[in-house]
Amino acid sequence: MIGERTPIIDHDLEPLPATARWRDTVLSAMPVVAILLLIAVLALIVAFLDGEDRERARTALISDALWVEQTLRFQLATDEDSVARLAIDVAAPEASPARFRERARLIVANNPEVTAVAWIEADGDVRAAVPDLVDAGALPARLPDLARRASFSARPVYGDLRRGEGGQLTVDLAVAVPEGADGRGAVVAVVSVSGLVKRYVPWWIAERYAVRLVDSSGRILTEKARVEPSDRDVVHRISFDPPLRGTELAVAPYRAAGDRAGYALYAAVAGLSALAILSLVLLQRHVARRRLTEQKLRTETAFRRAMEDSLTVGMRARDPNGRILYVNPAFCRMVGHPAEALVGRDPPMPYWLPDELDATRARHDAQIHGELKPTSWETRFRRADGSVFDALLYEAPLVDGDGTVRGWMGSIIDITERKAAAAFAQRQAESLQRSARLVTLGEMATSLAHELNQPLAAISSYAAGSLNLIRRGEAERAAIEGALEKLSAQAQRAGGIIRRIQDFVKKREPRFGPVDLADVVRETIAFASIDARTAGLRIDAELEPDLPPVRADRILVEQVLLNLVRNGAEAMAAVPADRRVLTVTLARDGAEVALEVADRGPGIDPAVADRLFDAFVSTKADGMGIGLNICRTIVELHRGRLQHRPRPGGGTVFTVALPVLVEDVAA
């Protein structure tokens, strides 16, 4: 939500009343009802026109089928007449085989469906035939039989349909020679039914229909067709018996291009109507979803408004130029300015500190014009009453729904109390560390007194001897100077012990700098050897040469090492004297310097091993359980690690790993 607090959607709108919702529903449904009525009317018109078209097509089919039937029957009648006239000519006295052949060739030439003509006498002999290949020897037995049947009929007689050469469907036609002729025989013609259909069905019929001659079972005998008819149920059958026994003429229409265009038009109208209905339904659903979304948006906006008002974290949105677009109530309470005084304002802002104005403006410009990535930093703001507070800012690019960066969204947290608590905790930790050092020093007081007593006794002895020499008048310059030099050395020794005690216990801030851990180990071992000699303990140091320095506070590192050494010494209190050896090892481990303190004590109880560095956890009966906890805090302050592990052969190894100075690692 970017911009002023004026919402895009009126959140105060009440839900629509029932009458208004009903009226909207009716208005939304009216276009759908109108489209449905239009489709119903179109369906009726289409059904009526389709019925009319089917009736016209059926009438045309019947008419054309009858025309084809009459044409074929007429041609067969013509063939019958030609054969009958030839039979009459055969009955004439002047008839001869040569004359018969001449007339027969003329019939075959004028009627291509007639493939052969023969003159068969009553005894079955062939007097003449066209073509000449037909002779008595090759004469099929069916022809004399047909000739005998024809002799008993006054009309032409047809034989059975058969397949001739090349798969052609043929039929034999016989006409008896009139009475008075010798032998009474008959003239037989072979008619190609396939040729009859293909020749005498015109092209304009063949373009529209498939013309077929079928038997009583519907099997196709011969046909003239371009393709298979589109609808096998639409066919008109006419009996062709007689003259061809058991046959029917079947005429079936093809689908015309005009029909396809009409169907395409009907389909287009239906498709567009369906599309219109679908569009209206989808639009209605979209409107319903939009209303539901708006209602949800009202609820969600109210929820987010309540959530924003309850936040204690300040929210602020700015455009690419830094102008404030939005602030939430928490931010207004934080800076003490109302939203009206902040929204729409350009930098500098009224909550910027005057003495830090240039630095704040520079950081603001660097963020606005810099890399688009989330950033965070600490700063200070001034309230309207003039008080100053510490703030932690998190800024991230403000991206809209299209993925375009519209500015920056920031969250602001008042960390004044947090910083005060952190500072108090730091002071407490430092106080605890100093107390631990004082405790350590108190525990070492007897040993320190003994250590100081030695140089003090030497000083007293050298001073008394020098005074005696001077009083007796036996003083020699060289002897006096030697005694005074030894006295001065013992005084410096005592002063060094006192200074180390002062540095160890005095209160101060941590001071980090380059530290040579080898020197720290040597000095700490020298300091701890006071107690070690008393406890009968030997401390061995194994220091790797030429180690790089680490960034550390020398006194704090000494405190950690001294604590680990004293813990190791106490762990070996019950160990035989010849095994009381504490080993301090210093070596480089990659980008770290590892300091190890290994004792030969009984080791750490597994029950407390995982909690050893927790506060108030101790393995000693009279231990307070804060020493190792302080050590871990100090090591982590140096960005290091403090760990422990069992030592092979008995005992424990504590490891302090501190990072090497960055300059040394780069070198």
382-422, pLDDT tens digit by residue?
Answer: 888 888 888 888 888 877 767 777 787 888 888 777 777 77
Least confident among 30-44, 175-189, 578-592: 175-189
Residue 401 domain-assigned (yes or no): yes
Contact between 191 and 183 (Cβ < 8 Å)? no
Residue 142 domain-assigned (yes or no): yes
CATH number of domain containing 527: 3.30.565.10
Residue 222 predicted with pLDDT over 70: yes
Closest CA to 189 of 171, 177, 176: 171
> Is the domain of 199 the same as that of 147?
yes
Q: Domain residues for 93?
A: 24-282
Distance of CA 522 to the CA centre of its chain: 62
Residue 644 has a pLDDT of 87
Residue 291 domain-assigned (yes or no): no
Residue 569 domain-assigned (yes or no): yes
Choosing from 459, 484, 509, the residue where a domain stops is 509
Helices (H), 536-661: 554-571, 606-609, 627-637
Helices (H), 92-141: 97-110
Closest CA to 660 of 560, 596, 587: 587
Phi, psi values for residue 146, rounded to 5°? -65, -35
> Is the domain of 410 the same as that of 354?
yes
> Is the domain of 268 the same as that of 210?
yes
More confident site: 267 or 353: 353
Angstrom distances, CA of residue 1 to CA of 208, 316, 337, 400, 405: 73, 11, 20, 10, 14
Distance in angstroms (rounded) separating the CA atoms of residues 630 and 627: 5
Structural domain total, the chain: 4
> Is the domain of 386 the same as that of 494?
no
Residue 587 predicted with pLDDT over 80: yes
Distance of CA 356 to the CA centre of its chain: 48
> Is the domain of 433 the same as that of 385?
no
> Is the domain of 473 the same as that of 552?
no
DSSP 70-87: HHHHHHHHHHHHHHHHHH
Residue 252 has a pLDDT of 81
CATH number of domain containing 486: 1.10.287.130
The total of other beta-carbon atoms located within 10 Å of residue 378's CB is: 11
Residue 390 has a pLDDT of 84
Buried b (16+ CB within 10 A) or exposed e, 56-91: eeeeebeebbeebbeebeebbeebbebbbebbebbb
Residue 189 domain-assigned (yes or no): yes
Residue 3 has a pLDDT of 39
More confident site: 541 or 173: 541
Paired with 175 in beta bridges are 187
Q: Whole-prediction pTM value?
A: 0.37
Residue 346 domain-assigned (yes or no): yes
Closest CA to 594 of 641, 552, 629, 630: 641
Q: Which residues contact 9 (CB under 8 A, 6 or more apart)?
A: 294, 297, 298, 301
Question: What average pLDDT does the segment 221-225 reach?
Answer: 75
Alpha-carbon torsion (513, 517, 518, 524), positive or negative = positive
Per-residue pLDDT tens for 261-298?
A: 566 767 777 777 778 778 777 877 887 788 788 888 88
Closest CA to 428 of 599, 629, 133: 629
Choosing from 457, 484, 509, the residue where a domain stops is 509
The total of other beta-carbon atoms located within 10 Å of residue 103's CB is: 19
Residue 8 has a pLDDT of 33
SS (H, E, C) 424-436: HHHHHHHHHHHHH
Residue 576 domain-assigned (yes or no): yes
The total of other beta-carbon atoms located within 10 Å of residue 133's CB is: 8
Q: In which band, very low, low, confident or very high, does the pLDDT at 5 lie, cut at 50, 70 and 90?
A: very low
Phi, psi values for residue 249, rounded to 5°? -100, 115
Residue 113 predicted with pLDDT over 50: yes
Distance in angstroms (rounded) separating the CA atoms of residues 485 and 652: 45
> Is the domain of 81 the same as that of 217?
yes
Q: State both tokens at 334.
A: 């934080």
> Is the domain of 433 the same as that of 458?
yes
Distance in angstroms (rounded) separating the CA atoms of residues 357 and 343: 20
> Is the domain of 324 the same as that of 463?
no
Residue 218 predicted with pLDDT over 80: no
> Is the domain of 105 the same as that of 250?
yes
More confident site: 430 or 76: 76
Distance of CA 549 to the CA centre of its chain: 51
Closest CA to 73 of 247, 274, 270: 247
Q: Output DSSP code: residue 356.
A: G
> Is the domain of 624 the same as that of 531?
yes
> Is the domain of 132 the same as that of 172?
yes
Choosing from 414, 441, 459, the residue where a domain stops is 414
Strands 126-130 and 375-382: unpaired
Residue 293 domain-assigned (yes or no): no
Closest CA to 251 of 60, 437, 27, 80: 60
CATH number of domain containing 247: 3.30.450.20
Residue 270 CB-density burial (10 A; 0-12 exposed, 13-18 middle, 19+ buried): middle
